């Protein structure tokens, strides 16, 4: 995806928000903190972090947390999201998060970043789209 294809969704602002909320993640079991910052067409930004639970199935991922905030605020048109993880590779959203995001926007622009790890080089951000990460997404129109 070239940077000239579309107007910038404010990657720097979204990255800063995703890194900030990542610090507040509750991850006592995995130690793997994730933050997400999602911009909607109106320009508003919604953030979320992962919240783990001793019964792992109740864990909420950062991306889904941001989507919940978006819906609670009455918005439904996401255009870009930054996901901030940690490690040698900027990780992509899990399958459940991809499907949740696809409920609202298949052509969502995604930037994946990794928080700096002391003593290591920060991985280069990766740009992709939800359509690339989840081809042939299951959508509500399949239920008709």
Establish whether 49 is an annotated binding residue: no
Q: Tokens in use for 59?
A: 């864990």
* Cα–Cα distance for residue pair 48/64, rounded to 1 Å: 7
Residue 25: in which H helix or E strand, if any? none
Establish whether 26 is an annotated binding residue: no
**Length of the chain in terms of residues written:** 144
Establish whether 61 is an annotated binding residue: yes
Concerning whether 63 is annotated as a catalytic residue, the answer is yes
Q: Catalytic one among 63, 75, 121, 132?
A: 63
Establish whether 50 is an annotated binding residue: yes
Q: Tokens in use for 93?
A: 């959203």
Establish whether 97 is an annotated binding residue: yes
Establish whether 54 is an annotated binding residue: yes
Establish whether 131 is an annotated binding residue: no
Establish whether 53 is an annotated binding residue: yes
Nearest to 84 by CA among 137, 12, 139: 12
Binding residue positions for Zn(2+): 61, 94, 97
Residue numbering of the annotated binding site for substrate: 50-56
Active site (catalytic) residues: 63
Mark the binding-site residues, compressed into ranges: 50-56, 61, 94, 97
């Amino acid at each position: 995806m070239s940077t000239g294809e579309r107007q910038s969704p404010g990657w720097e602002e979204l990255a800063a928000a995703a890194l900030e909320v990542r610090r507040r993640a509750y991850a006592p079991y995995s130690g793997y903190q994730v933050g997400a910052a999602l911009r909607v067409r109106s320009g508003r930004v919604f953030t979320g972090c992962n919240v783990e639970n001793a019964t792992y199935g109740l864990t909420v991922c950062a991306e889904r947390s941001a989507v919940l905030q978006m819906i609670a605020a009455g918005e439904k048109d996401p255009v870009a999201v930054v996901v901030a993880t940690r490690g040698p590779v900027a990780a992509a959203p899990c399958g459940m998060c991809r499907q949740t995001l696809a409920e609202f926007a298949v052509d969502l622009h995604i930037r994946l970043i990794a928080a700096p790890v002391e003593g290591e080089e920060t991985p280069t951000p990766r740009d992709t789209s939800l359509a690339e990460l989840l081809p042939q997404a299951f959508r509500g129109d399949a239920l008709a």
